[in-house]
Structure 1
Amino acid sequence: MKSRISVLTSIVLAMLLAAIDTTILNTTMPLIAESLGGFSLYSWPFATYMIATTVLAPIAGRLSDMFGRKRVFASGIVVFLIGSWLCGLSQTMEQLAIYRAIQGLGAGFMLPLPAIIAGDLFSVEKRGKFQALATSMWGLSAIVAPSLGALFVEYLSWRWIFYVNIPISIIALLTLIPYREEYAPKKARIDYMGAILFAVGVCSLLLVTVAESNQIVYGLIGALFLVGFYLFEKRQASPLVPLTLFRNKTIRWMNVSGFVGWAGLFGTASFIPLFLQEAAHLSVFVSGIALLGTAVGWMAASVPAGKWILRYGYRKLFLIGHLLLAASGVLLVLLNESHGFWYAFFTMLIQGLAFGLLSTSGVIGAQQLVEAHEKGISTSFMMFSRNIGTAFGVTIMGFFLTRTTDFMHGIHDLFMYGFIVSLLALLISFLIKDRREELGTGS
């Protein structure tokens, strides 16, 4: 029992670190760019972190299947610690972008492992509670990160937004020591070439979302490398991503549903605060508080989700989740200048219920419907599908906002896009078939 409490402390701290560092630069980046110079590279510390994190997540899951959860998770914390230290030492924007990539590599190992470890430690019913706890870390970071960044900038230095990660990372490592794995790793040869093809392909596709030019070139390079990755993996005895995983139709459509749903409306959190500041004239802090509706709804749906899966199956929960997501899309399309804090909070609450149900059901399904030695890669690939969807969705929403001079017209267009895509995700959820004989398996 003490071992479980200790490892729970470790993974919660790691999640909090990764969540905070995903958003803390939002409020401090203008001052950092002024301090280091190089405004032309303003977006790259965000982009390099996102790209590294997204690419490494499925690779981390596969490595955890091969070498054990504890070893891979600890490695991620160490890399994140080193990256944080280097970020604090940055003297130029180029250095900061490179060091943020190192930090993102660590986060890429850290983010999927908590759900994988929880899948080893807890029953299906209890995993919903863990997912709620995980969500609370993201909700907490939404409030803490901007405030913490502002305090460090005002009273110490922007460098402390990175240095503060070091003691917390050390505590996360120390509390991981008592953990004794119940999962027996399945040794296999590392698929280095598959990892390279996959990394280059995904990086190129993500560059399409952040680069200011040559998007077509990056897109073609990404597509070619991913086709090469697919052809190469088909011939491997121990592939990085077992393609047999996607012969399971439930797993396949859960991943597609995650990509489409997250591409549709997960980016809402990036634009609701902007709307509340520009149209409703609320403060930065109050507009951020509105996002707590997402965390509240997510936690409310996540806690009982494990029991609901056993009672109702995956398909019904995915249908309900996507119906709620589409309902939030309707509210967003109807958004106008007369709407203020409580309308936004309620909308985000509905969206939180949707994503809480979809996220928890997807993660548990990714673990329950595969063999034990595929649990890591299945879980992390589910998260990868959502991350890729988020990256493309936010970029498309940003395009709708910036292509017009009328702010509210842009807001309406980007949320109309999100609503339409959420309807597509709802249709895809009808393709998910329950395999009820497998719902009670696993630990």
Structure 2
Amino acid sequence: MTDFRAAAQQACDEMRALFEETPLQRNDHLSLKYDADIWLKREDLSPVRSYKIRGAFNALRKARAAQPDQTTFVCASAGNHAQGMAYVCRHFDVRGVIFMPVTTPAQKIEKTRIFGGSNIEIVLKGDYFDDTLAEAQAYCTAKGAHFLSPFDDDDVIEGQASVAVEIARNMQVLPDMVVLPVGGGGLSAGIKSYFGGQGPELIFAEPAGGASLKAALRAGTQVTLQKVDNFVDGAAVARIGDRNFAVLQDVSADQVYPVDEDRLCTTMIEMLNIEGIVLEPAGALSIDVLADIADQIKGKTVVCVSSGGNFDFERLPEVKERAQRFLGLKKYFILRLPQRPGALKDFLGLLGPKDDIARFEYLKKSARNFGTVLIGIETDDPANFGNLDARITQAGFDLRDITKDAAIADFLI
């Protein structure tokens, strides 16, 4: 433990040649909301807008020291690890080959290219990450290059632990609790290893659609999820890293909280509108989970690691949509509308003063007594939908709520 702490401190010191410490900021809004002393470790303000630069820096630094003749480094990533590695390759003036899925958004590809400049080559291979990873590893075997894992690597874990080093150095007294987002587990394993059993209580937040750590802890062994919801693309993994699980396996499953993806969207919108802080879904996990532990944190000092801010604003309409649905302020319905003059006018007359039609698609087929309408309604109070339902039922209209019917909603909406 002493050796790991010393190594993490050295890694942290070495990083100052590349970037300054990320801010540790008290957040008045969250502190008031939860009656606690809430601080944010702003990893979204690193040069690549995520903590991934830390692990990439430390792993590449140590690889160069161990293999001075190695000049080519490879990774597979569709996001933050790619950008961190690109930045570090330019810093050390080495060649980086970055494999990314063909489906990677152009914005992320361009940011990676900007960070790496002429030091990197971007290779687009595979529709899915597993295919991309296989291509990257095959390239390493064929070319004798060095593969830099995004999380399942001892040197990456050590580099991510520098977050804990900076927290400890910037607070006169250690916080009562540190809340961490979990994806592959590199950050969590690093911080847990650094603080050990004598440090703050650790709480872990992972996306409900990719809760691989909680599944593994419950099973008592590694688990590979059969299905993953990729909305929280920076943290949704099917299997936590083996090295990381070795560190985290004695964590209680009760310390790990799966976060509902739709509720997470409300936190992203809240932080953007109230605090002006842009967070990607994974970056908001530690803040969102405060709602689940509100009773535990009253009067305590809590640090939340906001792990990333690489948010593509083309996703904002989806985030807003999911947030409204979670809050009960927007719903989608299938309406069977009688094919008679005035039927639509009768239905519209049932809407309340705060009910706004956000979507309306009417399919009228000949020789049918009823037409089908897809209708989306927004309102300012969830109770309005109950009142609307009562009026519609009394009027004899057939209205089916499909908001939570994933199969139908995904196809139609």
TM-score (norm 1): 0.27
Higher normalized contact order (CA 8 Å, seq sep 6+, divided by chain length): 1
Q: Which has the higher strand share?
A: 2
- Mark the structure with the bigger radius of gyration: 2
Q: TM-score, normalised by structure 2?
A: 0.28
